[in-house]
Amino acid sequence: MVGWKEELRRIIEGSLAGEGDLMLIGIGNPLRGDDGVGVEIVRILMQSLRNEKVKVLIVEDRVDLIPRMLRDVNPRIILIFDAADFGGSPGEIRIMSPDEASGKTTSTHDMPLNLMLRLAEKDAPAYVLGIQVETLEFGRGVSPAVKAAADEIANFLLNLLARL
């Protein structure tokens, strides 16, 4: 079985060869424990990422804004970071299609990601990096296992994108 790092490397390296940008989108509510992990990942990336072919968006729990935010960009690929509950161990990372992620992401958004991406009318392939949650308790920060996964994803992407 191919691990998430190898799969993500293959997705990104294969997609950045042509025109268009890599779009990274962080989703979640930072006030609800691990639900904020998608935003956490994107914030880490925004601090250190220096690659003009990469665009970063934070939508928090307002996934309804995705179509409008993507209106004026030409993504070659879209990566969405979000908390998920797929029955794994806290901090476990899975790459899913937006259709597969529907019903597994745990963010407080009510709109399905696959619907928002269809409304955006972009032909770019989209993937969801789901991180298994431990807690969604209001007022708590991201749990240690999920924070470790966020750091691992961010560091992996920073290293990979620095070489491209």
Mean pLDDT of 102-125: 64
Confidence (pLDDT) at 20: 77
Would 100 be classed as within a structural domain? yes
- Residue 21 domain-assigned? no
Domain that holds residue 71: 4-16+30-163
In a domain, 25, yes or no: no
State mean pLDDT over 42-68. Answer: 86
Is 101 contained in some domain?
A: yes
**Is residue 137 within 8 Å of residue 36, measured between CB atoms?**
no
Please check whether residue 153 lies inside any domain of the structure.
yes
What CATH number corresponds to the domain at position 94?
3.40.50.1450
Domain count, the chain: 1
| pLDDT for residue 102 | 76
pLDDT digits (tens, 9 = 90+) for 79-95: 999 999 999 999 999 99
